[in-house]
Amino acid sequence: MAAAAPDKAVERLSQKLVLPSSPTPSAPLRLSWLDRYPTQMALIESLHVFKPDPARDAAGQGLAPARAIETALARALVEYYPLAGRLSVSRDSGELQVDCCGGAGGHGGVWFIEAAVPCRLEDVDYLEYPLAISKDELLPHPRPRPTRDEEDKLILLVQVTTFACGGFVVGFRFSHAVADGPGAAQFMGAVGELARGGESITVAPSWGRDAVPDPAGAMVGALPEPAGASRLEYLAIDISADYINHFKSQFAAATGGARCSAFEVLIAKAWQSRTRAAAFDPSTPINLSFAMNARPLLLPRGGAGFYGNCYYIMRVASTAGRVATASVTDVVRMIREGKKRLPSEFARWAAGEMAGVDPYQITSDYRTLLVSDWTRLGFAEVDYGWGPPAHVVPLTNLDYIATCILVKPWAHKPGARLITQCVTPDRVTAFHDAMVDIN
């Protein structure tokens, strides 16, 4: 008789608003120009998968995951009190701001949901794609569901779902208007520090939004529209360290010993593989876009503690024929030349000298590939007392924008993982075959 299929139903055990554990300031806080940019008005979603710790569980050490994280969250919010607030529009300026109402008597707080699943993480393949449990069951969605207007004001929501094996998944929904990727990971790291028994947060958070430029007349482009865009297919590819080192060695040999990064190699290979798979006409103009951290350009000590948006989107432009026929080394060179332009181009934008150009505009134009590097954000190092996550799952709700995200490999195997949604379903096999070809 076949074994019964595991029960994968998620049971919601409780939901509450978590407030800072001590009194906090209540005055509203100004957001920067970049915080207020239209595409930031979204809750960025991700799942963080933690394996059980048999030694910890056997010893009965400490609190269960949900209690440990909830308690540490309340303590972390004392210093990160804006995250317990709500987005609002200033009556004076008409601009988006943070209403710091998270203290006692306020109307804020972080939505915190505790849930449980009667199966083991291995029964759902540790949430490898395709997800065996719907992402919306693992992400924090308060009940009754907030209206769109209410949800647009929320800054942070957290759900901890415990599995029968003792492992757990932390689901985050984080307002991009208040924190970028490094900022969100910084906060999660602070919660982890306190959950592991720390007396205080090592790196104090800094609001510091006045350091971010507010260029006179800076152009704000239109939001990306799905109209006419095709649905793009999800594909995750695990890349070995040998594969990365093969192309790094090629680059070093061609440049007299110069070094390049794994990010540069993998993005060059992905851009070229996608270009070949898409079968563009050789004369087609194509673009590669990627966010670069601007903290070192603006903030003292490289921006330690700053958690707001502080990045610039660099673009590398070429033709499909050039990218498709170049060596991977030459495509890496194109990317490196683009990265070198950051200080001068960002300075020009900050001085209001880029009339008619919006460098932050995201497009659904199929000729543009948007790439992100999650390996350096800090998500893979967050530890609530059970060790770092085995697996981090970025989630996207826009399947018509060509994207490629580089994440740490599963369980920290050497190498990397590419999570892509960048070609139409009929081109996925061609893209995959081009990616794995090292010749």
Q: What is the pLDDT of residues 156-168, one digit of tens each?
A: 999 999 999 999 9
- Tell me which architecture the domain covering 11-205 has in CATH: 2-Layer Sandwich (3.30)
pLDDT higher than threshold 60 for residue 215: yes
pLDDT band at 59 (very low <50, low <70, confident <90, very high): low
Which residue out of 48, 141, 176, 391 is catalytically annotated? 176
How far apart are alpha carbons 293 and 373 in whole angstroms? 11
Handedness of CA 74, 77, 81, 87 (dihedral sign): negative
**363 phi/psi in degrees, rounded to 5:** -125, 150
Catalytic residue at 383?
A: yes
pLDDT higher than threshold 90 for residue 398: no
Alpha-carbon 313 to chain mean position: 15
Terminal Cα-to-Cα distance of the chain (whole angstroms):
49
Handedness of CA 427, 430, 435, 439 (dihedral sign): negative
Q: How many contiguous H segments (helices) and E segments (strands) does the chain have?
A: 12, 15
Handedness of CA 89, 173, 65, 145 (dihedral sign): positive
Amino acid, res. 106: G
Which residue out of 57, 383, 399, 432 is catalytically annotated? 383
Assign a CATH topology to domain 233-436.
Answer: Chloramphenicol Acetyltransferase (3.30.559)
Give me the pLDDT at residue 281, please: 97
Neighbours of 52 (CB within 10 A): 19
pLDDT higher than threshold 60 for residue 104: no
pLDDT band at 102 (very low <50, low <70, confident <90, very high): low
Neighbours of 190 (CB within 10 A): 27
| Upstream peptide bond of 130 is cis (omega within 30 degrees of 0) | yes
Q: Where in the chain is the domain with CATH 3.30.559.10?
A: 11-205, 233-436
Q: What value does the mean pLDDT of the chain take?
A: 92
How far apart are alpha carbons 29 and 315 in whole angstroms? 32
Q: pTM score, two decimals?
A: 0.93
Q: Map tokens 């090592």 to a residue.
A: 202
| Ramachandran sector of residue 17 (left: φ over 0; alpha: ψ -120 to 50; beta: rest) | beta
pLDDT in tens, 118-152: 999 999 999 988 899 999 999 999 999 999 999 99
